[in-house]
Structure 1
Amino acid sequence: MASSEISLLLRPRGRPIKNLPESITIKREDTAEEIFRKIANASKLSIHRLRVTKGSDGSPLPNTTALTVHDTGLRNRSSVDVKDLGPQIAWRTVFIVEYLGPLLIHPLFYFGRPLIYGTSAPPSQLQTITLVLCMLHFIKREMETLFVHRFSLATMPARNIFKNSAHYWLASGLNLAFWSYAPSSPAARPSNPLITYTGVAMFLISELANLQTHFILRDLRRPGSTERGIPRGIGFNLVTCPNYLFETMAWVGVWLVNWSLSTPFFLVIAFVQMAAWAKKKERRYRKEFPETYKKKRYTIIPGVI
């Protein structure tokens, strides 16, 4: 009987990788994950820093236990290219840092009004409600990051954390807080109770619906797995990403409370990004589940986009 062991030839891609061996020996019945583990052990790099592609066609090798080495198409003396992606940071840590910005900045501007704006007047009722809504939103985000979300990728390049955090720290943090809590803000003026209560109700209902969609999306993926399924439930029969629909509605609710143009400014930036993600997700569902996925015409807002 032929030996089940095969040899894979390793080639560095991009910058040289210190300690990368010329080859590794592995069994055909080993999982694809074992390829990454052996390369990581030999090169003394974190497994998350490695991108491994087939030398024959450049297609990426998945770091998964769902495929065997034989299933990947690799055979004895096959070449694989190995790239060092550089220092990595956990996606969960990235999300925590992103949402921490508004949680720090909003109270700073709300309670620091005498120093920042030079006013001794207390915040208005609408400004107080704005603070409460923004804090609730980002505390919810942090709790979801810690206890709800499951990530298909464990890490991202550490340098990207500054770019990712800028959206939240600047657009929904500094921008939203500075204009919402200023003495000249529309939120400093007397309120229309009907509009205010409508905004608060829209915010709370949307946040709960958004949370429910996140639970649905979480349950599509088993712990430790990157496999996905087709989401079904609240909103998913209408649009591809109802979580983005409810996110949008929640921020419209905030706008109905504070009437500051900084709110739609942030929302437009966020909506453009969510629209791109939603279109990409719709394409992925159609590709992964061509026979079973019911195609959606609208990805975020029914009848609009």
Structure 2
Amino acid sequence: ILACACHTFHYMKRLIETIFVHRFSHGTMPLGTMNCAYYWGFSAWLAYYINHPLYTPPSYGELQVNYALAMFAMCELGNFSIHLTLTNLRGEGSRSRRFPMPTKNPFTWLFVFVSCPNYTYEVGAWVSFSIMTQCLPVALYTLLGFIQMTIWAKGKHRAYSREFKDYPNLRMAIIPLIL
């Protein structure tokens, strides 16, 4: 039940962000994209295993689930904080571009080390979900998501580095000090 609640919360948050937070200049993420076969297919596959009568609870029981739940909640909050920060980078209708910087919000401090902390937090949420459920299909979904988000983060990192001469050298694409 907890896994279902977390999974549902994640995608409800994503839909709400798509509608109310994100500003898309080229229609890159219309609402219809949220219903693509990738998300629906994996959701059905994950739900099958997590809700199967033979599902085995995590090895360390409630302790494992509770720590993973806390990590999941922190990563979701971090992801939301980054999306708000990115939305506020440019004023409504402004054409000026600047790269994101940390704010007073502690979740944005990850900008010191990575170009795309929204992806870092997203991967963290799915890693914690994998730990919470201890389910191989969830881990596979997490791995595939990580690969795709790494590709996007590296592209954004390269674009920031090319566009801004004063872009911080310490920043990596998605994983602090590593990648």
Task: Give TM-score, length-normalised by structure 1.
Answer: 0.52
5+ unaligned residues in a row in structure 2: which ranges? 103-107
Q: Which residue does the alignment assign to 2:37?
A: 166
Higher alpha-carbon deviation: 276-285 or 250-259: 250-259
Following the alignment from structure 1 to structure 2, what is the Cα–Cα distance between the partners of residues 248 and 156?
19
Are residues 156 and 211 of structure 1, via their aligned partners in 2, closer, same or farther at CA, if it must alter by over 3 Å? closer
Residue pair 2:130, 2:142 contacting (<8 A) in 1 also: no
Which of 62, 70, 93 does residue 201 from structure 1 map onto? 70
Q: Is the 8 A contact 1:251 1:267 kept in 2?
A: yes
- Paired residue secondary structure (1:186): coil
Q: Residues of 1 paired with 2:163 and 2:77: CA distance?
A: 29
**Which residue of structure 1 aligns with residue 20 of structure 2?**
147
Structure-2 separation of matches of 1:243 and 1:298:
13
Residue 231 to residue 156, structure 1, CA distance change in 2 (3 Å) = closer
Does the 8 Å contact 2:170/2:177 carry over to 1?
no
Q: CA deviation at 1:269?
A: 1.0
Q: Do structure 1's residue 255 and structure 2's residue 117 form an aligned pair? A: no
Q: 1:223 aligns with which of 85, 92, 103?
A: 92
1:272 is aligned to 2:142: no
Q: CA deviation at 1:293?
A: 1.2
Q: Matched residues in 1 for 2:28 and 2:119: separation?
A: 23
Q: Does residue 1:185 correspond to 2:58, yes or no?
A: no
Q: CA shift at 1:281, angstroms?
A: 0.4
| Higher share in strand | 1
Percent identity over the alignment? 37
Counterparts of 1:93-112 in structure 2, within 5 Å, are: none
Whole-angstrom distance in 2 between the partners of 1:167 and 1:295: 35
1 CA distance for matches of 2:5 and 2:33? 27
Residue pair 2:115, 2:157 contacting (<8 A) in 1 also: yes
Deviation digits for residues 102-127 of structure 1 (CA, Å, limit 9, x no counterpart): xxxxxxxxxxxxxxxxxxxxxxxxxx
Q: CA deviation at 1:176?
A: 1.3
Matches within 5 A, 1:128-139: 128-139=1-12
Which residue in 2 is equivalent to 1:214? Answer: 83
Number of equivalenced pairs: 172
What are the Cα deviations for residues 37-73 of structure 1, in whole angstroms up to 9, with x where unaligned? xxxxxxxxxxxxxxxxxxxxxxxxxxxxxxxxxxxxx
Shift of 1:298: 2.2
Aligned CA distance change for structure 1 residues 231 and 174 (closer, same or farther; 3 Å): same
Aligned pair in 2 of structure 1 residues 275, 145: CA closer, same or farther (>3 Å)? same
Higher helix share: 2
Indicate which of 20, 45, 61 corresponds to 1:175.
45
Report 1 or 2 for greater relative contact order, CA contacts < 8 Å, sequence distance ≥ 6: 2
Cα drift, residue 165 of structure 1:
1.2
Relative to structure 1, the CA distance from residue 149 to residue 191 in structure 2 (aligned partners, 3 Å threshold; closer, same or farther) is same
Alignment deviations for residues 128-160 of structure 1 (CA, whole Å, 9 cap, x no partner): 110010011111111111111111213689xx9
Matched, 1:246 2:117: no
190 and 264 in structure 1: CA distance in 2 versus 1, 3 angstrom threshold: closer
